[in-house]
Structure 1
């Protein structure tokens, strides 16, 4: 038998891969590498779940104590109103003593025409006055001023007051009154006329006698040292309204001040303070021309 020459020996590795070209291994690996790169990029850019993050102080639930601490940092509670710091007139006096000139503070309630610390404490308690926590403190008051217009365009002014300590307080200004908290100027006008002029009507429906003049309202701010409390700077927000009041005398007259309407049988701090405060006993009124009134 004739036996031809044997075929050339092919290595095993080539025999396994003799069905693909030599560069097939490199080209077939490219799609796999591309898919792996895309997968890694997707995983890197996708948001991580909270539990996969390292623990920190924000990822733990807040205990009640930690919750209150965190909230206080975000939204601190409002400061306590200054008026609530003074349980009685003595605590207010102690606070003022180190913030006002000693000679000025000593004149409160002693110098004719001035008020005392009991008056200021009552104003704070009733919300009629606020004090800035500064040295010296600044007293802020909202005041309604009523220009009562009478015959021939004359204006009613309060010439002077008789006080409970026997002194006389010069005024020469239109009827004015400190406003209550959340009180509108119109409401304050009716209350002021009732309190300071009401005794002339003997309780006869004062509200029906009062007419506010449309378009007369104005507001301005005035800053000056208080005449009632020497040494205490004051900021007055003055709300002015014109009105007519029927039934008032055409000549000079006086009215009695309405007494403090608290329960005299109640032993409260307000009742005791009102008993020691300097109050107005009588208001003296006169009609003057508009030109004689300072703006």
Structure 2
């Protein structure tokens, strides 16, 4: 008996071919909700992610999931001199939606061939600002999580998570809350015929917390996602 084929990535050169591929594999009505339901992203967002190598679509996935979005993510746990952890609490999207983040540390999708440390440094520049400096301390072994996607309802996602520990050197307040402008996303400038504009992050909201608050925020986020 031949072993099952491993998952294989699927490439797309046109938005309509991606739409046709997903339309045949996702639950009825799922694709139509993308970019329409507050907090979700548009099909064009996924097309751009695939084109830039931020994720891949895998087929030959488990029978209940004909296709899975696979993403490698660097999670950057930045601490200040008092040991508090920097977390993202909310995002302002280009469609005006204010999306709760459940007290998540800074994170960034990794590009092909990029190390977790390099992705962490890029995340700091793009989401906290060019003047912010952190010191990278350690990188843990990756772990894999699978869950339903809040950004793309109906499309399961498999995360390969790389946790990078870092300490703040300078560039942002070391206590309380503050906000920054997203400098790494420009998809709102891209439109494809029939696809509309992509939905992007415009502003990010940050807070210094202790580890107990992170655990509570993570549980709240899991419950919120399970309710949708």
Taking structure 2 as the reference length, the TM-score comes to 0.80
- Deviation of 1:110 (Å): 1.0
Residue number among 56, 66, 73 corresponding to 1:143 in the alignment: 73
Partner of 1:112: 38
CA offsets 1:155-204 (integer angstroms, 9 cap, x no match): 11000100000111111200001000000001001000000001xxxx44
Query: Cα RMSD (Å) of the superposition?
Result: 2.3
Partner of 2:176: 251
Aligned 8 A contact 2:92 2:202 in 1: yes
- Deviation of 1:125 (Å): 0.5
CA change 1:138–1:81 in 2 (3 A) is: closer
CA change 1:259–1:193 in 2 (3 A) is: closer
Partner of 1:66: none
- Deviation of 1:279 (Å): 0.1
Q: Distance in 2 between matches of 1:191 and 1:178?
A: 10
1:82 equivalent in alignment to 2:10: yes
Partner of 2:199: 278
Summarize the alignment of residues 62-101 of structure 1 with structure 2, pairs less than 5 Å apart: 82-83=10-11, 86-101=12-27
Summarize the alignment of residues 189-268 of structure 1 with structure 2, pairs less than 5 Å apart: 189-198=120-129, 203-204=130-131, 206=132, 209-214=133-138, 216-245=139-168, 246-249=170-173, 250-258=175-183, 260=185
- Deviation of 1:259 (Å): 5.4
Summarize the alignment of residues 114-129 of structure 1 with structure 2, pairs less than 5 Å apart: 114-129=40-55
Q: Distance in 1 between matches of 2:22 and 2:93?
A: 24
Q: Distance in 2 between matches of 1:112 and 1:280?
A: 13
Partner of 2:94: 164
Q: Distance in 1 between matches of 2:135 and 2:54?
A: 25
Structure with greater helix percent: 1
Q: Distance in 1 between matches of 2:10 and 2:141?
A: 29
Q: Which deviates more, 162-171 or 128-137? A: 128-137
Residue number among 116, 128, 133 corresponding to 2:59 in the alignment: 133
Unaligned runs of 5+ in 1: 1-79, 265-270
Aligned 8 A contact 1:136 1:232 in 2: no
Aligned residues: 200
Q: Distance in 1 between matches of 2:72 and 2:21?
A: 23
Residue number among 196, 203, 210 corresponding to 1:289 in the alignment: 210
Q: Which has the larger radius of gyration?
A: 1
Q: Secondary structure at the match of 2:91?
A: strand
Q: Secondary structure at the match of 1:227?
A: coil
Q: Distance in 2 between matches of 1:221 and 1:293?
A: 20
